[in-house]
Chain A
Amino acid sequence: MEYFLTEEQQMIVDTAREITNEKIIPVRAELDEKNEFPREILKDIAKADLFSIFVPEEYGGFGGGCFDIALALEELARGCVGVATSFAASALGIYPVLIAGSEELKQKYLPSIATGEKFAAFGLTEANAGSDASGIQTTAVLDGDEWVLNGTKQWITNGGEAQIYTIIALTDPQKGARGASIFVVEDGDPGFSYGKKEDKMGIRSSSTRELILKDCRIPKERMVGRKGTGFITVMKTLDISRPGIAALGVGLAQGALDEAVIYAKQRVQFGKPIVSFQAVQHILADMAIQLEAARALVYSAARHIANNPKNMSKASSMCKVFATDMAMKVTTDAVQVLGGYGYMKEYPVEKMMRDAKILQIYEGTNQIQRNVVGQELNKEYS
């Protein structure tokens, strides 16, 4: 379907498509098997300027918005959600600086993110703070001209690989969520180290690791935004980033549909290619229908959010739920179409199905997203 992309947006799609076809697809199975971080591919992505999409022009970026990055993510995820997640996590990690950071912090960090010379990571989740993000226990105390951070962050994408970390910590524990602030911690800061590296079901090429802050001292100027505004910035960050996760679902499902249709045309049973059987056609048709519906919703939501409207949470949550539930269903159906071969690692749909699951979980579970939509409806109709 025609989605009326601008010439620049088409350029983003074409560039990401070339990266996917030439650099990602040939090695994705190996990266998955070896649990290996895609350093070389991220260098290729950097050389192609894709890291600059989400950085404003004045800091060396392309000045694109939520929709532009969603387009890139969709294409990358068609190849591998693990690689695409590593790329997306750098955007997520730097969004707080973009949204609320001082001019000094922007000048310091954004140019090297735009070139892809450095990666970022977002440190919110903790052992006791997942869906209930207000349960974080990491603290930051001002000591002279330095903040001293203590706590452990869990399941941090790009952990150990990124150089720049945005960490959410309580500066006023009594106030709960209203007492949270955001800080930039750099790789190599005193008291900052990496803990357990996770062994995951899917997106195995991405790095998921613990961050350990033990009397980690950072300069006072590394606070992002005003003290106590951390949670507002976190919510805005996630509102902007979620259409990207939805786009990962769309790209992944497109990859699965491509594999399923190509296979169904080649596989002969009962003397005919299985694509000629209505039972198979209906599965493929449902996959395509749901995929296109999700793409339309994601594009609309991302375009809406790119205009920086006052209320973006509902659109953001709606597209994340719909596209990622769709991706789970479509990848599962793709395995079904390939039958026994689909269950084997020799064919890519097995990995796609494993990769799909995380999309329903990370950046806010799909249950939490439904809560957001429900709460917004409640407000709208009051």
Chain B
Amino acid sequence: MHIVVCIKQVPDAKDVRLDPETNTLAREGVESIMNPYDRHALEEAVALKEEHGGTVTVITMGPPQAEEVLRESIACGADQALLVSDRAFAGADTWATSYTLAKAIQTLGKVDLTLCGKQAIDGDTAQVGPGIACRLGVPFVTCVQKTRQSSTESIIVERMMDDGFDVVQVPFPALLTVVKDINEPRVASLKGKMKAKKATIPTLSAADIQAEPQNLGLTGSPTQVVRVFSPEARGDRTVFTGTVEEQVDQLVRQLKDHF
């Protein structure tokens, strides 16, 4: 069974700021981490491999330093990793990113299952997973919260919904995006860390994945960011004190006064 996991390196959400000049994310001095949802996708892939055998391949599209999250993935149980990196990919939106990752996955031969995090915590679009599935022409299930049963042919999962969950069976090849409830990611093992340190991580360029240049990077991105801004901080807060009853009274009085 060949499982591919798509990983993104993102700025640590504990410290996200916008550059007021350029309206883009201020990345300088901000620590980069593996997108937290992707850690859960990786854990699910490794768990499925442990159950059914096979290979877990991790890919990321990003600048050369994104190799760090690939090594981290190997330490956590992935067998191999590929860095999809080329200057031509810069400025890609979710459309161009899905195209690029799908082209990269198509170079890997037979792939049974592709796993992605539900979304990346920097863009929060949740579009890339489904985008890849559409490009690959495989069925997809988003927001998977639990694997109920799996084989090397298909998988039965719970898809998180606003009012509960759906139980969905999907045949392979398929793509799933996962939420954090799906599992508890393991801590990278000592042997994994040793392996990660020594691993050779190949880089795939635009030419290697036989991509059409007009579909890549900024050129291939229909999305235009007109303005990015931080919402203005509102200072008008009141903290109620006293017993719960007193606090409720104060709140009700204020609401009445206001409306």
Residue of B nearest to A62 (CB): B190
Contacts of A53 in B (CB 8 A): 190
Find out whether the CB atom of A18 lies under 8 angstroms from the CB atom of B187: yes
A50 beta carbon closer than 8 Å to chain B: yes
Q: Which of A92-133 contact B (CB under 8 A)?
A: none
User: How far apart sit A8 and B191, CA to CA, in the bound complex (Å)?
Assistant: 10
A33 beta carbon closer than 8 Å to chain B: no
B186 beta carbon closer than 8 Å to chain A: yes
User: How far apart sit A18 and B186, CA to CA, in the bound complex (Å)?
Assistant: 10
User: How far apart sit A46 and B189, CA to CA, in the bound complex (Å)?
Assistant: 9
B188 beta carbon closer than 8 Å to chain A: yes
B190 CB, nearest partner CB in chain A, Å: 4
A11 beta carbon closer than 8 Å to chain B: yes
- How many residues belonging to A are interface residues under a CB distance threshold of 8 Å? 16
Choose from A8, A22, A23, A47 the contact partner of B189 (Cβ within 8 Å).
Answer: A47
User: How far apart sit A158 and B251, CA to CA, in the bound complex (Å)?
Assistant: 54
User: How far apart sit A19 and B189, CA to CA, in the bound complex (Å)?
Assistant: 10
Find out whether the CB atom of B186 lies under 8 angstroms from the CB atom of A49: no
Contacts of B188 in A (CB 8 A): 15, 18, 48
User: How far apart sit A49 and B188, CA to CA, in the bound complex (Å)?
Assistant: 9
Q: Which of B26-59 contact A (CB under 8 A)?
A: none
Q: Which of B155-191 contact A (CB under 8 A)?
A: 186-191
The secondary structure that dominates the A interface is: helix
Contacts of B191 in A (CB 8 A): 49, 52
User: How far apart sit A23 and B185, CA to CA, in the bound complex (Å)?
Assistant: 10
Contacts of A23 in B (CB 8 A): 187
Residue of A nearest to B191 (CB): A49
Residue of A nearest to B186 (CB): A47
Find out whether the CB atom of B190 lies under 8 angstroms from the CB atom of A11: yes
Find out whether the CB atom of B186 lies under 8 angstroms from the CB atom of A15: no
A30 beta carbon closer than 8 Å to chain B: no
Give the size range of B's interface with the partner: under 10
Find out whether the CB atom of A44 lies under 8 angstroms from the CB atom of B187: yes
User: How far apart sit A52 and B192, CA to CA, in the bound complex (Å)?
Assistant: 13
Contacts of A11 in B (CB 8 A): 190, 193-194
Contacts of B187 in A (CB 8 A): 15, 18-19, 22-23, 44, 47-48
A312 CB, nearest partner CB in chain B, Å: 26
A46 CB, nearest partner CB in chain B, Å: 9
A12 beta carbon closer than 8 Å to chain B: yes
B189 CB, nearest partner CB in chain A, Å: 4
User: How far apart sit A378 and B126, CA to CA, in the bound complex (Å)?
Assistant: 73
B-contact bits for A37-70, CB 8 A (1 contact / 0 none): 0000000100111101100000000100000000
Contacts of B193 in A (CB 8 A): 11, 15
Contacts of B186 in A (CB 8 A): 44, 47-48
Contacts of A44 in B (CB 8 A): 186-187
Contacts of A12 in B (CB 8 A): 190
User: How far apart sit A11 and B190, CA to CA, in the bound complex (Å)?
Assistant: 7
B78 CB, nearest partner CB in chain A, Å: 15
Contacts of A49 in B (CB 8 A): 189-192
B-contact bits for A340-352, CB 8 A (1 contact / 0 none): 0000000000000
A244 CB, nearest partner CB in chain B, Å: 18
User: How far apart sit A15 and B186, CA to CA, in the bound complex (Å)?
Assistant: 11
User: How far apart sit A23 and B186, CA to CA, in the bound complex (Å)?
Assistant: 9
User: How far apart sit A46 and B198, CA to CA, in the bound complex (Å)?
Assistant: 22
B49 CB, nearest partner CB in chain A, Å: 14
User: How far apart sit A15 and B188, CA to CA, in the bound complex (Å)?
Assistant: 7
B-contact bits for A266-292, CB 8 A (1 contact / 0 none): 000000000000000000000000000
Q: Which of A1-20 contact B (CB under 8 A)?
A: 8, 11-12, 15, 18-19
User: How far apart sit A22 and B187, CA to CA, in the bound complex (Å)?
Assistant: 8
B14 CB, nearest partner CB in chain A, Å: 14
Contacts of A50 in B (CB 8 A): 190
Contacts of A19 in B (CB 8 A): 187
Contacts of A47 in B (CB 8 A): 186-187, 189
Scoring A15, A50, A52, A62 by chain B CB atoms within 10 A of each residue's CB, the highest score goes to: A15
User: How far apart sit A64 and B116, CA to CA, in the bound complex (Å)?
Assistant: 37
Contacts of B192 in A (CB 8 A): 49
A72 CB, nearest partner CB in chain B, Å: 10
User: How far apart sit A165 and B189, CA to CA, in the bound complex (Å)?
Assistant: 27
Contacts of A52 in B (CB 8 A): 190-191
User: How far apart sit A11 and B189, CA to CA, in the bound complex (Å)?
Assistant: 9
B208 CB, nearest partner CB in chain A, Å: 32
A7 CB, nearest partner CB in chain B, Å: 8
User: How far apart sit A62 and B194, CA to CA, in the bound complex (Å)?
Assistant: 11
Q: 18 A-B residue contacts at CB 8 Å?
A: A11-B190, A11-B193, A15-B188, A15-B189, A15-B193, A18-B187, A19-B187, A22-B187, A44-B186, A44-B187, A47-B186, A47-B189, A48-B186, A48-B187, A48-B189, A49-B192, A50-B190, A52-B191
Using A15-B188, A48-B189, A62-B190 as known contacts, list a sample of 4 further A-B pairs with CB atoms less than 8 Å apart, ordered by residue number in A.
Answer: A15-B187, A48-B188, A48-B190, A50-B190
- Across the A-B interface, the 5 shortest Cβ-Cβ residue pairs: A49-B190, A49-B189, A18-B187, A48-B187, A48-B189
Give me the interface of A with B, judged by CB distance under 8 Å: 8, 11-12, 15, 18-19, 22-23, 44, 47-50, 52-53, 62
Give me the interface of B with A, judged by CB distance under 8 Å: 186-194
